[in-house]
Amino acid sequence: MKIGIICGHGNGDPGAVSPTFGSEADFVRKLAPLIKKYLSEYAEVNILDTSINWYSYLQSNYFDFSEYDYIIELHGNAGAKDHGGNGKTTGIEIWVTSLEQAITVEQNICKAIEQFGLLNRGVKVCDFLVITAIKKQGVSSCLIENGFIDDFDDMKLISDNIEEYCKILARSISEGFGLKNKEDSSADENGKYVIQCGAFKEYANAKRISDKINSIGYSNCISKINDYHKVYVGPFKNYETASEVSANLNKNKIDNYVLLNN
Ligand SMILES: [Zn+2]
């Protein structure tokens, strides 16, 4: 699986600004390499050119995002007006486009960041320019508002624990997609749904599909049932996640269908 990270603002546009913690543009450019570091344990990750202000750029230019399976656009929120710190966070929220079918990955991120200590404002829908341009190319995308730049408590919590924040964010994305750690090939916990990716008389044919799925980063196994070697991805706890992975497999030209895990 290939994941892209876009940093909001930049190229002269600071975004929101905190008197204590600096600009939103600089803040998200600190998060991106750390998220990449931790997410790379599970997927191929690329930070898109941070010198570009993608919001401005995409208004008059086309960019091909189709090599990616998922793209996150990083921002910080504004409007809390709590520069002194009132002991309460204003929180994280994630935006997806109205074209997005499933939001289980984004809900998983919000829940994980809630555990980290930020208020969970949930997943919301708006056709923001960058994520819509990406989604129109068939690539899932979301815009993450990583706390409020103008909330002292949000920024202090994240800045003081920036490694931990990025690690949790990366883990929640990989968990949401059911990606296995590249160094840990152990089987997943029991889930309700699996994805079958073909049934083959010849083991070699099943192995070829299995290898291809491994190269994308999904945990899978080959089971011999009634003379057929069947390739399974998963299991998954919920149907929406299985469907999202199924769509990514289709995109990589691997025929598959979701079924109940018996
Ligand atoms: Zn912003």
Print pLDDT tens along the chain (262 aa).
Answer: 899 999 999 999 999 999 999 999 999 999 999 999 999 999 999 999 999 999 999 999 999 999 999 999 999 999 999 999 999 999 999 999 999 988 999 999 999 999 999 999 999 999 999 999 999 999 999 999 999 999 999 999 999 999 999 999 999 999 998 887 765 433 455 678 899 999 999 999 999 999 999 888 888 899 988 889 999 998 888 888 888 899 999 999 999 999 988 7
Same domain flag for 157 and 242:
no
122 with 250, same domain: the answer is no
User: Is the Cβ–Cβ distance between 175 and 237 less than 8 Å?
Assistant: no
Residue 103 belongs to some domain of the structure: yes
The CATH number of the domain holding residue 125 is 3.40.630.40
Whether residue 150 is found in the same domain as residue 232: no
DSSP 127: -
Examine the domain organization and report whether 114 and 217 are in the same domain: no
Q: What is the per-residue pLDDT for 186?
A: 36
Per-residue model confidence as pLDDT tens digits over 179-189:
877 654 334 55
Distant-in-sequence contacts of 227-230, Cβ < 8 A, 24+ apart: 227/201, 228/199, 228/200, 228/201, 229/199, 229/200, 229/201, 229/202, 229/203, 229/205, 230/196, 230/198, 230/199, 230/200, 230/206
Distance 245 CA to ligand 1 centre (A): 29
For ligand 1, the distance from its centroid to the CA atom of residue 171, given in whole angstroms, is: 23
201: CA distance to ligand 1 center in Å? 53
Q: What is the 8-class DSSP label of residue 60?
A: H
Q: Which of 177, 201, 235 is the last residue of a domain?
A: 177
In a domain, 185, yes or no: no
Q: Which of 150, 177, 204 is the last residue of a domain?
A: 177
Q: What's the domain range around 216?
A: 193-260
- Looking at the 3D structure of the chain, how many domains does it have? 2
Q: Give the distance (Å) from ligand 1 centre to CA of residue 101.
A: 24
List the beta bridge partners of residue 223: 230
231/156 same-domain check: no
